[in-house]
Structure 1
């Protein structure tokens, strides 16, 4: 049987100089839909500031009451994070379930979280959000029907019945459990740095095709390896950090990291809870900023992503831009311009061009050279066959002559074994 969707009305305040208000309300609709809520009405107000007691003015409250009544909507969704007192006042005035943008995003994350770490992070964020809002949320849950996706998985009605002290104890216990996960992640990162394998990290707005791009890159260079990650056309399909090793035909290897997508007004509770996961971004040698070129709001998405990267302290890391989903536009692709490439992960077009950009940033410590290795140093020849791009091999009286491209560090390591060395321009 189809799930009966609860009806909802969305409400937003357009502050002065806010040119992205219409888009943020459209995004709120999409967030509601992801929570299986049917938006049947919309109310907005232009104002110089948010009304402290009720978020909107008292006149608009009466207008909202009539709108909810007309549509028989039991839920009202606000476009900003509401304070505890605003929730209580609105609950009392409207006699409806009152939720805000933050709780919608928290619920989507709860629904999408699959790994233990992601589930712990979401539960911490939910509890930290709900702790100062216990009274209003308890009343709200009393009105909640079974039809919507707002099930508060991991931090639902039973947890809200706990007293404040027990919730705080639960948060502390979860954070300790998370710390163990963080320690494991840090050990993995340390091992990667020891191996000196460069890291490229996919970042960008939610649902721009980061996971699809990762899968295409993995399939291109490791066909049949079955190392793909979950990818789907929906908000926040990826909440877990996935790392895949990409080995290029010339034996150059880099690690590719897929991360959680960003969204405007990403709740600070989530950013704080997911900080250990998002630290993968700050450790990268290169950011691949994936943007959906078919979305009219692509520039806004790029700006939001850059703001989030700055908040994480990752704005100083070199970045290239991958304008994805070009197949959904009339644009020509693949096209490369400076540090950007227009491509289609779905059509596997533009991948070679993207990898060329990645290569230029990650492998600038390589040299072209021609070396002569004595026959009794066969281990050196074997090493370069496995770790360098060997372009030609010939055998002479004094040893094996190799023309190759290798890392400067490898050259330094073995240079005393060479009979002869010539750098190639």
Structure 2
């Protein structure tokens, strides 16, 4: 559980279900992540409610008895927000709000809220705003009133048009306007990428909160914002890096997450284009996280969705300083050694060993094994450069082991 000391945190409860496709262990893992998301958004989780069901209730997501339990707890503890782990339909959200009489969010809504808080630049704010409007459009009934005031003017409202129809029209107009603005942003970003010349492009990718920004700071000696919260970085950061005699561009991208809202994937096209156009990916993994293998699978799926799964990739297992080995006593003949007892050396001998040489184990925070990291990245970038620009090969002759970074 995450300790809270700030009295301004908003009280919340989490709700999830165990189904045929999602067992109890998987649900608890998702709820752990949902609690971290809630904390990142400024909430404090007082309790979790779970229920075993074949499939979600089409009206209230969970059963009648369970939702009454949630209602009672909310009323007694003055909870302001109920957060569901899965995306709710507009009808479910409306029904649940009537019963609980509090703010009802789902995972998608929560992630969008965090993005809205974290967006610093005009580009990021525009992308988040588009995703929010796209999420909101089918949920307008009962949520917004008198949006026509934002439009105003005689003749702007059609004859016989209801308030909700007006609201939908205004939101659709807003979405259209934001899409045009993002098209302009995409063109500007494309021009910027084109102006970077023929330098090799390297992109940091990975699950959220795995240490990409910290690694970016170490490699580029810059000050990219890094924090132990989800989605600390939204805006793409590009830095020119020189290792030994070889310059290249390094990009820090937004972190991925399971159940990433489709609205965000669409609206953050310009950010994801940095990944699509990269020559080399550094897939950063928090090896200290108990579910890091599933994080890898989630990132790989997102890369496949944006048609970037076949790019040259170095797996960078970060946070080895936080790796805790749970040893088994030598005299213990009962306990079976499982993954929870693995040391770092044990992990290296698993499926990671089959990945060949494109695997690194580092601590970006403590700068452990960074020389090995720089050497591997140098070799990969140099190999790409030599293949692409064979006539410039003489410029990048081999340096000896004492070669210093410029």
Query: Smaller-chain TM-score range?
Result: 0.7 to 0.9
Map of 1:358 onto structure 2: 377
Partner of 2:76: 70
Q: Of 297, 302, 306, which residue of structure 1 is paired with 2:296?
A: 302
Partner residue, 1:29: 35
SS of the residue 2:251 aligns to: strand
1:216 aligns with 2:218: yes
Kept in 1, the 8 Å contact 2:285–2:296? The answer is: yes
Q: For the residues of structure 1 that align with 2:94 and 2:189, how far apart are their CA atoms?
A: 40
Q: Deviations over 1:315-374 (max 9, x none)?
A: 1112111111111124669x896211110111112222122222332222677xxxxxxx
CA gap 1:60/1:238 in 2 versus in 1, 3 angstroms: same
Q: 1:232 aligns with which of 224, 227, 230?
A: 227
SS at match of 2:141: helix
| Superposition deviation, residue 390 in structure 1 | 7.9
Label 1:11 to 1:388 Cα distance change in 2 as closer, same or farther (>3 A).
Answer: same
Aligned position for 1:340: 359
Structure 1: where are the runs of 5+ without partners? 140-159, 220-226, 368-379, 393-425
Matches within 5 A, 1:192-341: 192=196, 195-219=197-221, 227-249=222-244, 251-330=245-324, 338-341=357-360
How does 1:79-94 map onto structure 2 within 5 Å?
79-94=85-100
Q: Is the 8 A contact 1:11 1:44 kept in 2?
A: yes
Aligned length: 346
Q: Which moved more, 1:10-19 or 1:96-105?
A: 10-19
In structure 1, the partner of 2:191 is: 187
CA distance in 1, matches of 2:100, 2:229: 32
Provide the secondary structure at the position in 2 that maps to 1:186: helix
Secondary structure of the residue that 1:349 maps to in structure 2?
A: coil
**Separation in 2 of the partners of 1:39 and 1:128?**
28
Aligned pairs for 1:83-122 within 5 A? 83-122=89-128
Q: Give the structure-1-normalised TM-score.
A: 0.76
* Corresponding residue number in structure 2 for 1:412: none
Q: Which residue of 1 aligns with 2:131?
A: 125
1:103/1:391 CA distance change after superposition, 3 Å:
closer
Extract unaligned runs of 5+ from structure 2.
Answer: 146-163, 325-342, 401-406
| Corresponding residue of 1:151 | none
Alignment RMSD (CA, Å): 2.6
Match of residue 64, structure 2, among 52, 58, 64: 58
3-state secondary structure, aligned to 1:135? coil
Gap change, CA 1:136 and 1:313, over 3 Å in 2: farther
Partner of 1:398: none
Superimposed CA distance per residue, residues 206-244 of structure 1 (whole angstroms, 9 cap, x where no aligned partner): 11000110110112xxxxxxx332112211011011111
* Distance in 2 of aligned mates of 1:71 and 1:238: 34
The normalised TM-score by structure 2 is 0.79
Post-superposition offset of 1:62: 2.0
SS state of the match for residue 364, structure 1?
helix
- Name the SS of the counterpart of 1:45 in structure 2: strand
Distance in 2 between residues matched to 1:365 and 1:171, nearest whole Å: 40
The Cα of 1:161 is off from its aligned counterpart by 12
Aligned CA distance change for structure 1 residues 129 and 115 (closer, same or farther; 3 Å): same
Tell me how far 1:25 sits from its aligned partner: 0.6
Partner of 1:153: none
